[in-house]
Amino acid sequence: MMEYLDFIKSKTIVDQDTGFKPNIRDTILFGFQKDITSWACRRGRAAIFSDCGTGKTPIQLTWADQVNRQTNKPVFILAPLAVSRQTKREGEKFGVDVNICESDADVKNGVNITNYEKLHRFDPALFSGVVLDESSILKSFTGKTRNQIIRAFSALPYKLACTATPAPNDFMELGNHSEFVGSLTRAEMLSMFFINDTSSVATWRLKRHAQDEFWKWVCSWAVMIRKPSDLGYDNDGFALPELNIISNVVNMDFDPGQFGELFLQEASTLSERREARKLSLEKRVEVAADLANKSSEQWLIWCDMNAESSLLSKSISDAVEVTGSDRPGVKEDRMLAFQSGEIRVLVTKPSIAGWGMNWQNCRNMAFVGLSDSYEQFYQAVRRCWRFGQNRTVNAHVIYSAREGSVVKNIKRKEDDAAIMADNMIKHMSGFTKSVINGATNDQTPYEAEKTITIPSWIREAS
């Protein structure tokens, strides 16, 4: 009977540490940052969901430096465009030399960094550890690229994924992170914790009785923090300024026959939304241009279509455009010039510049075009509204009445994201605090409720 119980226990969720005890010297890291870094080193393979401005960059730099010291082999950081040079500057503050690489030939024994787009130029076998900076950006790439990253670094014992927040209720993204760090594959996660909702094809629903164990499992390889007090630390220095989200609804002349409607209806299909945005383009740009041209301060203007970007850059004085067709070096130079204040107005898309940049130098932004992605909206806002910003941030959302469904959809997803964050914080309140402080509680215990009686015919057969 004991052998049978041992067999059952072997089937419980166990995610063994692959890391080491770090030796983090006194730095300017805050206490919670140092403890999270130490935990990630002990884990070896971990994910950090840490809100914008809470210090993901110094955490991942310190982690990478510790792994390099432990293995005496190069460590690799993959980052969004233009973040490499920003990270190198951050490294100078924390005593970590960061080597910007274009290909294998540039790799040095230390901490190396490149953009996601250049991954194909490198041999993963060169490195002992890898960091995915702004790991949620992987959704912007094709499934082939995501799979390539997961496979390329599957054998590494040291892996760290960092992002501000996983997408709201996107359990598939949590599954991707789990698969990257080597805990459970996405398929294993789904079969263990979810059921397929047959009322909606390909929709997975978290089993009601498995919710506590699911979040405990997530928190065994990931930590989520919106502010230091989530882990029991002091919030000194981490108070966000006021955020004003200001709706600007442009008035459109409505032709009842234009859409085959008696009264104006909100656009519901993708084609209807595109048509509505085309019709309101000039008026939306006019509102944004008026805001930026009447101000002497810096402005960050977000758009979603090329036509919006082009007309905005022509309508706003001092505006500089960053487009998808620009060469990578041009994009980096302009984004960093905006950071340093050399550019007063930057016009671009969240899909291009919405990840990783620290733009606390700017407090005014306008969304002249919105997609349905809450995460893109959230990341775009947090480029300026982040810890370290000491002024009120104004975010203008400019849209026509017919585009109101997009705004409502983002608001709904924002509420979903808050629920998800609350769930993770609630479930990790005690569990993760003990893990961060060095306890080892990485498995779901098996509690035998009944004594197993083995039939005599099995005993005789054996």
pLDDT at 31 over 70: yes
- Percentage of the chain exceeding pLDDT 70: 79
Q: Based on the domain organization, do 230 and 278 belong to the same domain?
A: no
Kindly state the tokens that stand for 237.
Answer: 């220095």
Q: Which residues contact 88 (CB under 8 A, 6 or more apart)?
A: 98, 100, 113
What average pLDDT does the segment 164-177 reach? 72
Higher pLDDT, 248 or 450: 248
365 contacts 394 by C-beta, under 8 angstroms: yes
Number of Cβ atoms within 10 Å of the Cβ of 148: 15
Alpha-carbon separation of residue 263 from 90, 255, 258, 268, 402 (angstroms): 55, 9, 11, 15, 11
pLDDT value of residue 253: 62
- pLDDT band at 109, cuts 50/70/90? very high
Residues 281 and 194 in one domain: no
The reply to whether 394 and 289 lie within a common domain is yes
Reading phi first (left if > 0) and then psi (alpha if -120 to 50, else beta), residue 192 is in: alpha
Residue 98 pLDDT > 90: yes
Q: What is the mean pLDDT of residues 207-234?
A: 85
CATH no. for residue 186? Answer: 3.40.50.10810
Structure tokens at 42: 């002990």
Query: What is the amino acid identity at position 74?
Result: P
**Domain total in the chain:** 2
Q: Do 249 and 367 belong together in one domain?
A: yes
Residue 71 in domain: yes
284 is a domain residue = yes
Cα separation values, 282 from 145, 300, 396, Å? 37, 18, 16
Residue 164 resides in a domain? yes
Residues 353 and 386 in one domain: yes
Kindly state whether residues 306 and 227 are assigned to the same domain: no
Domain extent for 300: 243-262+270-415
Strands (E), 310-392: 319-321, 345-348, 364-367
Between CA 320 and CA 316 the distance in angstroms is: 9
> For the residues 94-116, what does the mean pLDDT come to?
95
Q: Is the pLDDT of residue 256 over 60?
A: no
User: What backbone torsions phi and psi does residue 176 show, to the nearest 5 degrees?
Assistant: -65, -40
Q: What is the pLDDT of residues 281-299, one digit of tens each?
A: 999 999 999 999 999 999 9
Q: What is the mean pLDDT of residues 438-446?
A: 43
Residue 170 lies in a domain: yes
What residue spans of 166-269 are helical by DSSP H? 171-181, 186-193, 211-221
**19 and 156 fall within a common domain:** yes
pLDDT tens readout for residues 310-367: 999 999 999 999 999 999 999 999 999 999 999 999 999 998 998 889 999 999 999 9
Answer with the residue of higher pLDDT: 437 or 410.
410
DSSP 197: E
**Confidence at 40, pLDDT banded by 50, 70, 90:** very high
Output the pLDDT for position 409: 77
CATH code for the domain in which residue 292 is found: 3.40.50.300
Most confident among 165-174, 224-233, 289-298, 417-426 (mean pLDDT)? 289-298
CB 147 within 8 A of CB 179: no
Residue 135 lies inside a defined structural domain of this protein = yes
pLDDT of 443 strictly over 70: no
Which pLDDT does position 107 carry in this prediction? 97
pLDDT at residue 263, as a whole number: 47
Whether 41 is in a domain gets the answer yes
Q: Where are the beta strands (DSSP E) in 295-414?
A: 299-302, 319-321, 345-348, 364-367, 393-400
In a domain, 446, yes or no: no
Extract long-range pairs of 276-280: CB within 8 Å, 24+ residues apart.
276/400, 276/402, 276/403, 277/304, 277/305, 277/369, 277/400, 277/403, 278/307, 279/252, 279/400, 279/402, 280/250, 280/252, 280/399, 280/400, 280/402, 280/403
On the question of pLDDT at 413 being above 60, the answer is yes
Are 202 and 256 within one domain? no
What confidence score (pLDDT) does residue 174 get? 84
On the question of pLDDT at 280 being above 80, the answer is yes
pLDDT tops 60 at residue 167: no
Q: What are the pLDDT digits (tens) for 7-16?
A: 444 444 545 6
- pLDDT for 251: 79
Q: pLDDT for 388-404, tens place per residue?
A: 899 999 999 998 887 76
Does residue 277 share a domain with residue 136?
Answer: no
Tens-place pLDDT, residues 176-208: 899 999 999 888 998 899 888 655 545 678 888
For residues 230 and 248, state if they share a domain: no
Q: Are residues 137 and 182 in the same domain?
A: yes
Which of 218, 235, 252 delimits the end of a domain? 235
Q: Is residue 435 part of a domain?
A: no
- Comparing CA positions, the residue from 386, 385, 364 lying closest to residue 302 is 364
Residue 209 sits in the same domain as residue 311: no
Last residue of a domain, one of 378, 393, 415: 415
